[in-house]
Amino acid sequence: MKTEEEIFNLIKKSINIKGEFKNYHIRLSNGRFDRESMIGVYSIREGIAINQKNYKLAEQIHQLLIGLKNDSGIILKGVTIQGENYSGMYYLSANYEKVIGYLESQFDENGNLIN
């Protein structure tokens, strides 16, 4: 299995996270996520975001859905990355070799959600 730092670097190459590994808290999920179930859940969440006129979130979810639909794997692994003003949930292939999709948020210095 890959180390947290190796997984962080894989995500950083794919997503362009600022800063270094030591600036973030990385949590690897013990659970496994069924790709088809995730497509169903996030399709509903995308519709809710659109109905609430939260178009930035809807666009992020849409991009996540594209990644989920284009992947052929059955099981996904989850990784959470948190920094001082950043939080992201990433879905990776079962062997942690590829980023399938993600949702991320940025916060101001008071902890208020920016996007």
Residues 20-39: pLDDT tens digits?
999 999 999 988 999 999 99
Residue 98: predicted pLDDT: 94
Residue 106: predicted pLDDT: 83
Largest CA distance in the chain: 41
Q: What angle do CA 17, 18, 22 make, to 5 degrees?
A: 95
As a whole-number percent, the residues of the chain with pLDDT over 90 amount to: 75
Total number of domains constituting the chain: 1
Residue 115 included in any domain: no
CB under 8 A, 24+ apart: contacts of 36-42: 36/74, 38/68, 38/76, 38/91, 39/65, 39/68, 39/69, 42/68
Residue 111 included in any domain: no
Residue 110: predicted pLDDT: 75
Q: Mean pLDDT for each consecutive 10-residue tract of the chain (115 residues)?
A: 91 87 93 94 97 94 96 94 91 94 85 69
pTM for the complete prediction?
Answer: 0.87
Amino acid at 105: S
Residue 28: predicted pLDDT: 93
Domain with 33, as residue range(s), is: 4-106
- DSSP for 1-54, written as a single string: ---HHHHHHHHHHHH---S-GGGSEEEEEEEEEEHHHHHHHHHHHHHHHHHTT-
